[in-house]
Amino acid sequence: MLPWKSIITINRKEIRPVYLQISDAVIAEIMKGRIQKGLKMPGSRTMASTLCLNRKTVLQAYDELMAQGWMEIVPMKGTFIKQSLPEVKQQSLGDVLEIKSEAQTNSSKYDMPRGEHVIDDGTPDYRLAPIDDLLKTARSVSKGLVGKSVLLGNHFFGEASLRNNLSDYLSTTRAINGTKGNILITRGSQMAIYLAFAILLSKGDEVIVGQLNYHSADKAIKSTGGTLVKVPVTPEGLDLNVVEEKAKAGKIKAMYITPHHQYPTTVTMPVENRMRLLELAEKFDFYVIEDDYDYDYHYNRSPILPLASIDRNGRIIYIGSFSKILVPSIRIGYMFASESIIKKCGELRMIIDKLGDPIMERALAEMLANNDIDRFLKKAVNTYKERRDLFCKRLEEGLKEEITFTKPNGGMAVWVNFKNINIQDLVETAQIHKLTLKIDVYEHTNKACRFGFASMNLKEIETNTDLLIKAANAVLSQ
């Protein structure tokens, strides 16, 4: 038996629950290649007595590993590390690519008149956001800081307390382990996306994206000199066989993904694919920009850990934001990457935005340290889960002959496929019914779209889905 007691170290002072500390440790060992696929895991009783823990905690950890796709039960034989995981070769840490410096819109949904009734494409309910708390904290922070250096500058990489606290937060919530040197604070994640491509790309470099993709990422790639290479999106995220094909030509410099919930289709990339993608990035020498815009919203279990948590070679540039927790006008996002990438992006950020917003950043740092953000998210997740359930039920009942969709396990939107209805017709007809569909209409498909459920309360969901169903029926009868 492996020396589990030395492999899995539990720190009871950590906020991250013990069962997740166990699953994190097992995943980390798999990624290091020290736990091989097909390994038989000890029974839960044995593991519990080895680690001096309650058996329930071990069972929870095993459930987590199975739910995330790392482990499987073989009937009559026991619990095993999944056979279908790709082989992991041990590799050294460090920077692998040479990094070069260099630097219309589909804004229809933003220009649309906003009626009384709105279904958007997946934004939080900003009425619930802890803005008063943030502003109160900012006021008290700024009082104590008048005349001090925090108001004067030298925050090229963002406010130090936020970088420190964020580093703890990322470690606790998603097993991304680093220091403040791995973190750059940005004006929202959009700036982080732009900076990443600006330092990576030279004119004509190819970047892989989903055939359907977050359009502002596409724009950032194009405006920093990149060429989009579009790859089909499957129910398991971007098609990795096609990615491999494209990468073989040797011109791919980077790839942009949203693996937690692919934007816009909401599909989740399973563990096997994440590992294979890391392998491909290594083999074909490209970076992966992991935009984790909605990691905090998950309804059934803990989410699959980000690729950044299993990256051993500095291939992943991880990007996150607080605009989906607070409000988009509080522009605080971040990048987590190797120190050399952070340094390059920080130097570039300084040219665009010298100082950031030190007071808001310090206030957010305090809210993270006091667990205010965590507490808020727990409430928001329960609220959004209820809204997701009602929204999906209403769609199912009202449009079951016309639509298909998979109920999302997290996020703030549902990707809906229509059989006969053209989305542009639906948007226009909905407007006549006093419902504004603040959604994107995609060039690649005119029969599918993203409906957000999180920004409406239960009563608004009832009213707005009634209007949506009426509009859909009106299109069908035209």
Contact status: 161 vs ligand PLP (CB under 6 A)? no
Contact status: 293 vs ligand PLP (CB under 6 A)? yes
Rounded to 10 degrees, the C-alpha dihedral 151/152/157/158 comes to 10
Contact status: 188 vs ligand PLP (CB under 6 A)? yes
Please provide residue 134's backbone torsions phi and psi, each rounded to the nearest 5 degrees: -65, -45
Contact status: 268 vs ligand PLP (CB under 6 A)? no
Q: Are 297 and 381 in contact (CB under 8 A)?
A: yes
Distance from C-alpha of 317 to C-alpha of 65, rounded to nearest angstrom: 25
CA torsion sign, 382 to 388 to 393 to 398?
Answer: positive
CA distances for 146 relative to 106, 150, 250, 360, angstroms: 43, 9, 54, 14
Q: Among the candidate windows 149-157, 166-174, 187-195, 338-346, which touches ligand PLP by CB under 6 A?
A: 187-195
Instruction: Report, in Å, the least distance between residue 199 CB and ligand PLP.
Output: 18
Q: Which of 44, 165, 190, 265 binds ligand PLP (CB under 6 A)?
A: 190
By C-beta, is 120 or 366 nearer to ligand PLP? 120
Instruction: Report, in Å, the least distance between residue 321 CB and ligand PLP.
Output: 3
Q: Are 297 and 268 in contact (CB under 8 A)?
A: no
Q: Are 232 and 211 in contact (CB under 8 A)?
A: yes
Distance from C-alpha of 270 to C-alpha of 69, rounded to nearest angstrom: 7
Contact status: 214 vs ligand PLP (CB under 6 A)? yes
How far separated are the first and last CA of the chain, in Å rounded?
69
- Amino acid symbol at 48: A
Instruction: Report, in Å, the least distance between residue 290 CB and ligand PLP.
Output: 11
Q: Which of 21, 265, 321, 429 binds ligand PLP (CB under 6 A)?
A: 321
Q: Which of 206, 218, 290, 291 binds ligand PLP (CB under 6 A)?
A: 291
Distance from C-alpha of 216 to C-alpha of 191, rounded to nearest angstrom: 10
Could you tell me the maximum CA-CA distance found in the chain, to the nearest angstrom? 70
Contact status: 189 vs ligand PLP (CB under 6 A)? yes
Contact status: 258 vs ligand PLP (CB under 6 A)? yes
By C-beta, is 157 or 334 nearer to ligand PLP? 334
Closest residue to ligand PLP in the complex (CB): 188
Q: Which of 19, 157, 197, 263 binds ligand PLP (CB under 6 A)?
A: 263
Contact status: 336 vs ligand PLP (CB under 6 A)? no
Q: Which residues contact 351 (CB under 8 A, 6 or more apart)?
A: none
Instruction: Report, in Å, the least distance between residue 193 CB and ligand PLP.
Output: 6
Residues that bind ligand PLP (CB under 6 A): 188-190, 214, 258, 263, 291, 293, 321, 323, 328, 333
